[in-house]
Amino acid sequence: MTPDQNKPVPPGWVGGFAESNPAFAYPDPDLSSLPLLENMANIDLLDRQQAVLWPEFSWETVPGTPDSRAYQMFAPDISRVGYTNAGRVYSVICPQQGACSPSFGTLNIEVSVTGQRGWVDEPSRTVAADLTVEGKIWFSPSAVQSPLVQLLWDLFSTTGRPFPADKKQAIRVPIHRHGEPSEPVLPGRSGQTDWFPVPPFAEHYDTAWAVANLAAEIAPIALTGDELVDDFNELVMSVFNLSSGNLLAPGNLLTWNVWFTEPAIVDRVEWREHAEKWRTSIDACHGPEGSQPRYFDGRPFKPDLAAVAAEQTAITAFIEKHAQTT
């Protein structure tokens, strides 16, 4: 199947960048001759864009067990790829989503793009882009209002430690290429992933203009060197993974198919405003939300009662360990 071929495309396309180096070509594009560029450094060079209206993520809720695979569309219409009339990629805005913990409330997750390079070719509806990314986790406004989170925040504030109540102070999760811990560059390539079957509810051939895919392996969280902060970050990640079905569990493989809308002209002021709007927080309590995670057959993923009990046990152990030391 191919994406819908009847969407209108604005004039102005020139092309040529994808063909400027034979190494860029499919079936195995090599983009290593291009520098990895900071994501917001070249907005004034953007001419065209494709929005990601359907960012479809997938992972095994029990790592190593294929039947446990879940599928979830992250918040729509946040992510997009921006490029020149010639087709050189200069910016990629990243996907976000919220996950609800029975103990903490809503936690926000973002796959932050830290570097990018690549090309888009509109006539063939193809793209090749390398990304470096980082996972970020922080508390939503509703979670911050809960008595439990306030108690934990107080443990931090009494000693001047930063609390992950916004993206600036987010818990950072390194991400690398599958099976290559020392390789941070992830290849984004056209088409859906062929690593596993994709259910019909996660496909958008009838409405999308094009589709591409990426895959990333999750690494342990970045340590700060502060025992309380590192213990707390490990606690939050443990709770998050219990609630989300190991979405960011170390060693798990996170894959996403990004379904694009048709090309559009970039309004550079709007691009900056759009990026800034989502730079600080999705505000999962009130912002756009994607789907709930589901298995291949459509059954919803739900944390079991043991996971909820494990959350409470982990939180209690953390408070008992640190309440007397702050």
Q: Which conformational region is residue 9 in: left (phi greater than 0), alpha (psi within -120 to 50 degrees), or beta?
A: beta
Report the pLDDT value the prediction gives residue 285, as an integer from 0 to 100. 47
- pLDDT one-digit tens code per residue, 261-316: 999 999 988 877 766 655 554 554 444 466 788 999 999 998 776 766 777 787 77
Average pLDDT over residues 64-83: 89
pLDDT above 50 (res 51) = yes
Report the pLDDT value the prediction gives residue 45, as an integer from 0 to 100. 96
Average pLDDT over residues 226-251: 85
Report the pLDDT value the prediction gives residue 261, as an integer from 0 to 100. 93
Give the pairing of strands 294-295 and 89-93. Answer: unpaired
Report the pLDDT value the prediction gives residue 303, as an integer from 0 to 100. 75
Q: How far apart are CA 257 and CA 211, in angstroms?
A: 7
Q: How far apart are CA 194 and CA 81, in angstroms?
A: 22
User: From residue 123, how far is each of 12, 16, 204, 285, 293 by CA, in Å?
Assistant: 12, 11, 20, 39, 34
Mean pLDDT of the chain: 84
Average pLDDT over residues 62-79: 89
Average pLDDT over residues 174-192: 92
pTM for this structure? 0.84
Average pLDDT over residues 215-236: 87
pLDDT above 60 (res 5) = no
Report the pLDDT value the prediction gives residue 28, as an integer from 0 to 100. 96
Question: Which has more confidence, 193 or 145?
Answer: 193
pLDDT above 80 (res 107) = no
Per-residue pLDDT band at 145 (split at 50, 70, 90): low
